Amino acid sequence: QSALTQPASVSGSPGQSITISCTGTSSDVGGYNYVSWYQQHPGKVPKVVLYGVSSRPSGVSNRFSGSKSGNTASLTISGLQAEDEADYYCASYRSPASWVFGGGTKVTVL
Amino acid sequence: EVQLVESGGGLVQPGGSLRLSCAASEFSFATYWMSWVRQAPGKGLEWVANIKQDGGEKYYVDSVKGRFTISRDNSKNSLYLQMNSLRAEDTAVYYCARDGDRNWDHWGQGTLVTVSS
């Protein structure tokens, strides 16, 4: 079961916007609105920042937004802040009856 | 506040077995799907298995099928992962996670499983 494809790293300066892509297939990302994104700081537990492609859990900053086109989902962080420096993982339901993560993207705030 | 507390990790030899537990509290455990997600040292996240509210449906990642068994005891608000025929590549932090609306909305702190001779 291959992972979803994410860039290994993305960087940006404070205040800028960055976008992380997550590419799958029609059996996962493209076939369902079941994409979620997780933020993980070093040594910490993952935290969901988006689900259902573009929905934000209560308490998550509106600087995080999501979209999907075809087999690729995207997470955009606007107004980049130092606290956003972390690893980000996408995840999707994959038919039949499994879930798959992306390989993860390290976000660096320059 | 939702709490998930894993236990049972440790050092085990290749081919050995281990049973992980996850104690849930502060939510209606019996009404949620639950999952195990693991993370090898320095690596990414990997979904391992999940189980329906009544235990009637269980799904696994291909790499653990036939070796791992997920189960739950709703009377004890507990989730389990029985791991047999362990391999070096099973070495990871294992997280218990609650299946929310199309996401894992709460995670435990994780328990480390090390498979080594």
For residue range A84-102, what is the model confidence (pLDDT) as tens digits? Answer: 999 999 999 999 889 999 9
**Distance from C-alpha of A29 to C-alpha of A27, rounded to nearest angstrom:** 7
Burial class of residue B53 (count of CB atoms within 10 Å of its CB; 0-12, 13-18, 19+)? middle
Cβ contacts (< 8 Å) between A38 and chain B: which residues? 45, 104
**Distance from C-alpha of B117 to C-alpha of B114, rounded to nearest angstrom:** 10
Share the mean pLDDT of chain A: 96
Using CB atoms, which residue from A1, A46, A102 is nearest to B61? Answer: A1
Tell me what pLDDT residue A67 has.
97
Report CB contact under 8 Å: A100, B110. Answer: no
Query: Does residue A50 have a pLDDT over 90?
Result: yes
Report CB contact under 8 Å: B63, A1. Answer: yes
**Residue A58 gets which letter from DSSP?**
T
Query: Does residue A2 have a pLDDT over 90?
Result: no
Residue pLDDT, tens place only, B26-78:
999 999 999 999 999 999 999 999 999 999 999 999 999 999 999 999 999 99
Residue B41, preceding peptide bond in cis (omega within 30° of 0) = no
Shortest distance, CA B77 to any CA of chain A (angstroms) = 21
Burial class of residue A67 (count of CB atoms within 10 Å of its CB; 0-12, 13-18, 19+)? middle
Phi-psi region of B55 (alpha: psi -120 to 50; beta: other; left: phi over 0): left
At residue B85, the 3 state secondary structure works out as coil
Percent over 70 (pLDDT), chain B:
100
The residue behind tokens 């209606």 is: B28
Shortest distance, CA B48 to any CA of chain A (angstroms) = 8
Share the mean pLDDT of chain B: 97
> Residue A2: how many CB atoms within 10 A of its CB?
10
